[in-house]
Amino acid sequence: MNIELIQSKKLDLIQWLSTLEDSIIIEKIIDLRKNENKDWWNTISEIEKQSIEQGLQDANSGKLNPHLNARKLYEKWL
């Protein structure tokens, strides 16, 4: 994204935010700002971390199925 477009979007957001009355959205924006520098890894559960680690181990050991095979297997639900 070029710098002019980014600046334009920021100004649009500032204008929108200055007229915003929805406290829930304002709180979500504040939370987003607080969490902008946090590593998502530290925000997920141990079960999620274990699942990701298992997936990486499977990928590294070649235990993968091509996307085409997965689509065939689950096509009635897609």
Q: 0.75 cut: is pTM over it?
A: no
Enumerate the domain spans of the chain.
1-33, 45-78
Candidate from 19-23, 49-53, 62-66 with smallest mean pLDDT: 62-66
Taking all residues of the chain, what is their mean pLDDT, rounded to a whole number?
90
pLDDT in tens, 18-50: 999 999 999 999 988 887 777 888 888 999 999
Q: Please tell me the predicted confidence (pLDDT) of residue 64.
A: 86
Contact 49, 57 (CB under 8 A): no
Compute the Cα dihedral for 47, 28, 9, 37 and give only its sign: negative
